[in-house]
Amino acid sequence: MIDDIDIRCDLNDKAGLLAEIRRRDKIIHALMNQVQRNLNNPNNDFSLLQTTFMLEEEVKQRTQELESALDALAGAKEALEKTNSELEERVAERTAELSQQLHFVQQLIEAIPGPVFYKDAQARYLGCNSAFEAFIGLPACELIGKTPNEVFPPESAEGYLGADRALLDRPGSQIYETRVRYANGEMRDVMFHKATFTRPDGTLGGIVGLILDITELKTAEASVRKSQQLLQDIVDNSTALICVKDMSGRFLLLNRRMEELLRTGFSASEAIREIEGKTEHDLFPKDRADACRDREQQVLATGEVMETEESIPQADGQHTYIVTRAPLRDEQGRLYAIGTISTDITERKHLEEQLREAQKMEAMGQLAGGIAHDFNNLMTIIVGYGELLRDSLEDHPAKQEKVEQILRAGEQANSLTRQLLAFTRRQMLQPRLWDLRSVVADMEQMLRRAVSEDIELAIQNDPEPCLIHADRGQIQQVILNLLFNARDATGKGGSISLSVRNVVPENEGMRLSTAVQSCPYVCLKVSDTGHGMDAATKARIFEPFFTTKEVGKGTGMGLATVYGIVRQSGGHIAVESEIGRGATFYVYFQRTEGSMPEERRAVPFEMAPGSETIMVVEDQDGLRTLICEVLRRSGYTVLPAGNGYEALLLAGKHSGRIGLMITDLVMPVMGGREVVEAIPASHPETQVLYMSGYADNISELLGVGHAFIEKPFTPDALLRKVREVFDRKSGIRRSA
């Protein structure tokens, strides 16, 4: 029997259905052949009929089945055609969608301003945008399918391939910076952003990359770094203390100077990490930290800058600072921190104190100078008439001795006046070039005698010449006064050291902070191991008549005289002292280059009577009368004038020669200089001898050929000076 055809088979399986029909057709042909054989065999009639019947039935049945199958096949074909049409529509729609998406992606890649490329897993280019074409100087059609070795120079290609291999070996993303040469030859700083991509089946597809030109960014970063470094250098090299704190008072930033104060011992960056997050309370005593925080709170509350003067302890003592605290705001104007700048004004305060002291000393000097001027006139009269009186009492020794006592008292008064003038820097100096070492060496025996035997005196000198331009006598006075001061301050068994050395201001610190010239100096240093001084005493030691000695054991003019001589000589003086640690005086004179002048010898002076005419111009009646009497006794013709106007009138009326005019420098209405400037009109032959108790601008007067005699003077000194002036014009040189 032939198996039934399963017409319920899957109508979509067209090939299977046709194969089944062919198989059944072959079976039918086989049965037909069997029937034909039976017809040819007469012995099989019944069997033939039976077979024929069965065959006919079978054919009918199978024919019906075939017809049904063909009908089903026709229906399946129609369904398949419908399904195929639907599939084609869906494929077309999906293809359009993919095409649209691909176009969008291509447009997106093209819109990216930076070069974009993509490669397969063998690093062969698959495509790029126009920016990448401009980067390499090739169109995409010539790039696709090539590796970097075929596009770039060997040195560049090797770097690109190395980066690609590393990324392909470890899929993911890759970012790095480098410098590349564009097709136009320009070198640029770029950043590569690369990432791997996969196929739908999950296998590695290749690399997509983006190149960002960061040349301007790198330039801007370099500029910012330079500006930041410049700012940091300025901040770090500032002598001020600079720090920034947050709103809670925690340190955020500090400069090198602040770091040194905090004594972290680290570099600035390490110091920031070391104290970051800490407050003043973590670093300083509570009282100081509380005061600092209170001021910061005021700044935060008011939002305004606050400036205060504060004392901050440091290793070398208390320092005074001007502390400026300022609120720091962000772009929205909100407070976020406090900036503090503290400027050390310790030296400025020291200089201000020195200035106040100098002004006080100058005021005292003006007062003392005025007193000394009037006192000089009086002492000149007293001593002058005293000498005249003494000379007239040669036959009365007892009376003459009394006059001698008056003259000795007058000399002591003159000495006191000279000290006042030394303090006021108005005494007459005769400066010249001296080696200060030689001055000390010449005085050494006298200095050692001046110090008691139970006090050790050590003298040290610089091996190199210590040349200064000064008045030798005044410098000797400075040395003696400083030595006497040290001796009186030093007890038995103590020691005094005196040294002369060459120095430069940079090595002397604040002792030479007031020096107006940055030049080499010669330093005279006198130290003792005495009881020392406190700050209040040091502030007054150069005041005239100030002394710490017992009544009757000091005039208080020793150090005042030193101060005046040093300042008049263009020098500087400083003192260092503490209670129980002695005192050290530093005297600085500007060092001078040159060689010592040779001494000139003079012939002995012989007093001779005069015959010349001399005009005397002096506003002090008693002194003018004395001078006129002294000159007349010596044979001179005298023309007295009480002021400058009288002198001019007298000169205009006098028809004879006026060989010399002796005039006071300082007079009311018309001073001596004005008189001298007016006299040559009528008497060009007249020489000039100035007299004064001041030494102001005397060097200018001597520079134009005029002579000078310092008050107070004796009659003998006056006559010698007058004779010297006349003889100088005649070319005669005499010794005094």
CATH number at residue 241: 3.30.450.20
Read off the pLDDT of each residue in 317-324 and give the average, rounded to a whole number: 86
Q: Judge whether residue 443 has pLDDT over 70.
A: yes
Read off the pLDDT of each residue in 701-728 and give the average, rounded to a whole number.
Answer: 82
In a domain? residue 606: no
Query: Please, which pLDDT band fits residue 701 given cuts at 50, 70 and 90?
Result: low
Angle at 233 between CA 229 and CA 236, to 5 degrees: 130
Amino acid at 221: E
Query: What's the chain's average pLDDT?
Result: 80
pLDDT of residue 264: 47
Range with lowest mean pLDDT among 160-174, 208-222, 701-715: 701-715
At 709, is the pLDDT very low, low, confident or very high (cuts 50, 70, 90)?
A: confident
Is residue 596 situated within a structural domain? no
Tell me whether residue 190 is in a domain. yes
Same structural domain for residues 452 and 561? yes
pLDDT of residue 601: 44
Q: Which of 103, 131, 147 is the last residue of a domain?
A: 103
- What's the structural domain count of the chain? 6
- 88-111 mean pLDDT: 82
- Report pTM: 0.41
Q: How confident is the model at residue 694 (pLDDT cuts 50, 70, 90)?
A: low
Predicted local distance difference test score (pLDDT) of residue 498? 93
Q: Are residues 338 and 294 in the same domain?
A: yes
Domain stops at, among 424, 458, 487: 424
The verdict on 636 and 702 lying in the same domain is: yes
CATH number reported for the structural domain that contains residue 715 in this entry: 3.40.50.2300
Reported as a single tens digit per residue, the pLDDT across 504-539 is 877 766 565 554 466 889 999 999 998 888 888 888
Q: Tell me, what CATH number does 523's domain have? A: 3.30.565.10
Find out whether 188 and 218 touch, Cβ atoms under 8 Å. Answer: no
Instruction: Let me know whether 499 and 556 are in one domain.
Output: yes
Same domain, 619 and 550: no
Structure-model confidence comparison of residues 733 and 135, the more confident one? 135
Least confident of 227-241, 622-636, 696-710, 714-728: 696-710
At residue 543, the pLDDT reads 80
Q: What is the pLDDT of residues 330-387, one digit of tens each?
A: 889 899 999 999 988 888 887 777 777 667 666 766 666 666 667 777 878 888 888 8
Give 9-34 pLDDT, tens digit per residue: 454 555 666 676 677 667 767 766 76
Q: Quick one: average pLDDT of 614-625?
A: 91
pLDDT digits (tens, 9 = 90+) for 39-79: 566 555 555 556 666 666 776 777 777 777 777 777 777 88
**Quick one: average pLDDT of 633-647?**
92
> Rounded to 5, what percent of the chain is helix, strand, coil?
50, 20, 30
Residue 690 and residue 362: Cα distance in Å, rounded? 25
Query: In this structure, are 623 and 656 located in the same domain?
Result: yes
- In this prediction, residue 200 has a pLDDT band, given cuts at 50, 70 and 90, of confident
Q: What is the pLDDT of residue 515?
A: 47
Same domain, 675 and 724: yes
Query: Is 568 among the domain residues?
Result: yes
Asked if 495 and 528 count as a contact pair (C-beta separation under 8 A), the reply is: yes
Output the pLDDT for position 608.
67
Residues 653 and 684 reside in one and the same domain: yes
> 505-518: buried (b, 16+ CB within 10 Å) or exposed (e) per residue?
beebeebbeeeeee
Residue 512: predicted pLDDT: 59
SS3 string, 637-652, reads: EEEEECCHHHHHHHHH
Residue 297 lies in a domain: yes
Report long-range pairs for 552-560 (Cβ below 8 Å, ≥24 apart).
554/488, 555/416, 555/419, 557/416, 557/419, 557/420, 557/423, 558/481, 558/484, 558/485, 559/481, 559/482, 559/485, 560/419, 560/422, 560/423
Whether the predicted pLDDT of 735 surpasses 50: no
Residues 391 and 412 in one domain: yes
Indicate if the alpha-carbon torsion angle 13, 16, 22, 25 is positive or negative.
negative
Residues 313 and 371 in one domain: no
Among 232-236, 352-356, 465-469, name the one with the lowest average pLDDT: 352-356
Cis, bond preceding 712 (omega within 30 deg of 0): yes
In which domain, by residue range, is 84 found? 14-103
Give the separation between CA 323 and CA 327, rounded to whole angstroms.
13
- φ, ψ of residue 606 to 5 degrees: the values are -120, 120
Residue 409 predicted with pLDDT over 70: yes
Residue 599 lies in a domain: no
Q: Are residues 238 and 304 in the same domain?
A: yes
Based on the fold, state whether residues 311 and 405 are members of the same structural domain. no
Q: Specify if 55 maps to a domain.
A: yes
The average pLDDT across 584-598 equals 81
CB atoms within 10 A of CB 688: 21
Give dist(CA 10, CA 210) in Å, integer: 54
- Last residue in a domain, options 103, 125, 160: 103
Which range among 18-22, 266-270, 573-577, 696-700 shows the weakest confidence by mean pLDDT? 266-270
pLDDT at residue 481, as a whole number: 86
Residue with more model confidence, 136 or 22:
136
Q: Does residue 372 sit in helix, strand or coil? A: helix
Query: Would you say residue 405 has pLDDT above 50?
Result: yes
pLDDT at residue 728 is higher than 90? no
Structural domain contains residue 246: yes
